[in-house]
Amino acid sequence: MTNKKKKEFIWDGNVRDAALTILLTVDKSQAYSNLLLNDTIEKYNIKDAKDRGLLTELTYGTLQYKYTLDYYLEPFIRGKVDLWVRWLLRLSLYQMHYLTRIPAHAAVNEAVEIAKRRGHKGIAATVNGILRSVLREGVRSMEDITNEVERLAIETSHPEWLVARWVEMYGYAQAGEMLRENNIPPLQTMRVNTTRVTVDEALQILEREGVKARRSEVLPECIHLMSGTAARTSLFKKGFATIQDESSMLPATVLDPQPGERIYDMCAAPGGKTTHIAEKMNNEGKVLASDLHAKKLNLIDENVARLGLDIVEAIPLDGRKSADLLGEASFDRVLVDAPCSGLGVMRRKPDIKYTKREEDLANLQTIQLALLDNAVRILKPGGRLVYSTCTVDRTENEGTVQAFLAKYPQMEAEQMTLPTSLMDKQQNGMLQVFPQDFGSDGFFVASFRKKGE
């Protein structure tokens, strides 16, 4: 079923066609779905909130359940189909199986129309036949899969190697809970810029704009949006708040920077944690933010300017070489938010779970330890070093911490000051947050003190 004259996508108000284009681009170019989604909304000026919401749901939902959808479709597909046709079938079945407010026959009819526009009548007839067969016969049961790990992998649409790894690390029940949580859309969360407004004032501003929001029960400067779009609020545009996942606010919370101190954020772009640090210092002192990729520094500068902070300096620098350039014992506190597999943010970037390989995780630890080597040298005696990742993998987290402490006897794990609800979750100066804990990203934080005064 080859179609060499597939037509180029042109936005005509068809949300499903737009979702299909995004899904194809993610597959072919290994592009990030969240960036493509935002680019599509901006490029075609999709203003209607319902259209934006449906486009987001169709894109993420189809990606989230790719393996599950393939399992359901497999008995109905005869022979080879083009990549775009397979994605169209996945997209359509996602609507039919998971979205109750979209009538199944409407999803089928729309798929047939898209197939006609992008292909020809023969392809449209095939798509129609497959989807109507699914409607008649229903999807097959997961109970046919006898292997527990394989069944969990198909049910939650995660690669089998990853499921097996997490089952071994955390047990079947906890791994299953995390895998299912990965498929639930994340909350919209914002961090209030307390140098400019209080949390109460921020909530009042949102209420006046008709946006439903509430205080977080975990972090005092975090608010949850129950409606609206965070980036379109005046709270964000005026620099009164930052869009940031709640777990991502933990590193600066643990670092606990004080006004007047000299702080180094080693892997800083796009600046969410950098600006959080500056806000916690009440914009008094010095925050040096660096990133290996110079072009990403603009993102830090933009965030700093929007929030009205003036104690941040952003420089291009490889953290693995930072000690030689910045000097020994020159900072009161250092944050190493290290490059990692990103396995804790899969609900925001579902494409990650299909592109990561197990061998990638071991390679990352070498980079993480090299960054920590430099952080030790830069940190003043008595100073605090915080290591964080947005992953839930023990090799990158506890494994890296253990290797680090074995190498540096002058560093000791320290008890963290955390919100009450998280205090009993830390162990030996380490905190692992899972997506199911309070609906945030999976995140890891460890805190160390350098001996001496």
Last residue of a domain, one of 160, 181, 202: 181
Asked whether residue 373 is assigned to any structural domain, the reply reads yes
> Could you tell me the pTM of the whole model?
0.91
Other Cβ atoms within 10 Å of 137 Cβ, number: 10
Cβ burial, residue 27 (10 Å; 0-12/13-18/19+): middle
Per the structure, the complete domain to which residue 237 belongs is given by 188-243
Q: Which candidate, 187, 165, 161, 166, places its Cα nearest to that of 176?
A: 166
Cα–Cα distance for residue pair 183/347, rounded to 1 Å = 6
Question: Annotated catalytic residue: which of 222, 267, 340, 390?
Answer: 390
Domain boundary among 200, 228, 243: 243
120 and 163, same domain (yes or no): no
Same domain (yes/no): 262, 368:
yes
Contact 227/315 with Cβ under 8 angstroms?
Answer: no
CA dist 219 and 56 (Å) reads: 27
Asked if 22 and 49 sit in the same domain, the reply is yes
Per-residue pLDDT of the chain (453 residues; tens, 9 = 90+): 444 444 444 545 688 988 998 999 888 877 778 788 888 887 777 777 788 888 899 999 999 999 999 999 999 998 899 999 999 999 999 999 999 888 899 999 999 999 999 988 899 999 999 999 999 999 999 998 999 999 999 999 999 999 999 999 999 999 999 999 999 988 999 999 999 999 999 999 999 999 999 999 999 999 999 998 899 999 999 999 999 999 999 999 999 999 999 999 999 999 999 999 999 999 999 999 999 998 999 999 999 999 999 999 999 999 999 999 999 999 999 999 999 999 999 999 898 999 888 888 878 999 999 999 999 999 999 999 999 999 999 999 999 999 999 999 999 999 998 988 899 899 999 999 999 999 999 999 999 999 987
Q: Read out DSSP for 72-126?
A: HHGGG--S---HHHHHHHHHHHHHHHH-TTS-HHHHHHHHHHHHHHHS-HHHHHH
One-letter amino acid for residue 281 of the chain: M
Quick one: 336 and 284 in the same domain? Answer: yes
Tell me: do 196 and 253 sit in the same domain: no
Token pair listed for 2 = 């080859």
Do 40 and 176 belong together in one domain?
no
- Kindly report the CATH number assigned to the domain that includes residue 92: 1.10.940.10
The count of domains in the chain is: 4
Position 1 in a domain: no
Residue 308 shares a structural domain with residue 206: no
**4 falls within a domain:** no
pLDDT of residue 13: 60
User: Tokens 């709640």 appear where?
Assistant: 246
CA distances from 177 to 173, 242, 354, 392, 427 (A): 6, 29, 19, 13, 21
Residue 332, burial from CB neighbour count under 10 angstroms (0-12, 13-18, 19+): buried
CA quadruple 399, 401, 402, 406: dihedral positive or negative? positive
Instruction: Specify the DSSP element, H or E, that contains 222.
Output: strand 222-225
Three-state DSSP state, 279:
helix
The H-or-E segment that residue 174 falls in is: helix 172-181
Whether residues 83 and 56 share a domain: the answer is yes
Residue 75 lies in a domain: yes
266 contacts: CB under 8 Å, gap ≥ 6: 290, 319, 322, 334, 335, 336, 337, 371, 374, 375
Q: In this structure, are 355 and 221 located in the same domain?
A: no
CA atoms within 13 A on the CB side of 280: 24
7 belongs to a structural domain: no
CATH number at residue 427: 3.40.50.150
> What sign has the CA pseudo-torsion 256, 262, 268, 270?
positive
Is residue 267 annotated as a catalytic residue, yes or no? no
Report the pLDDT value the prediction gives residue 1, as an integer from 0 to 100: 42
Instruction: Identify the pLDDT of residue 12.
Output: 52
**Residue 317, in any domain of the structure:** yes
Do 117 and 158 reside in the same domain of the chain? Answer: no
Q: Which residues pair with 190 in a beta bridge?
A: 223, 243
Geometric angle at alpha carbon 276, from 42 and 426, rounded to 5°:
115
pLDDT recorded at residue 451 = 94
CA atoms within 13 A on the CB side of 364: 23
Tell me, yes or no, whether 281 and 420 share the same domain.
yes
Displacement of CA 108 from its chain's centroid (Å): 32
The answer to whether residue 2 is domain-embedded is: no
Within-domain flag for 8: no
Residues 227 and 136 in one domain: no
Would you report the helix, strand and coil content of the chain in percent, each value rounded to 5? Answer: 50, 15, 35
82, 115, 140 - which closes a domain: 140
Task: Give the per-residue pLDDT at 416.
Answer: 94
With contact defined as beta carbons under 8 Å apart, do 172 and 221 qualify? no
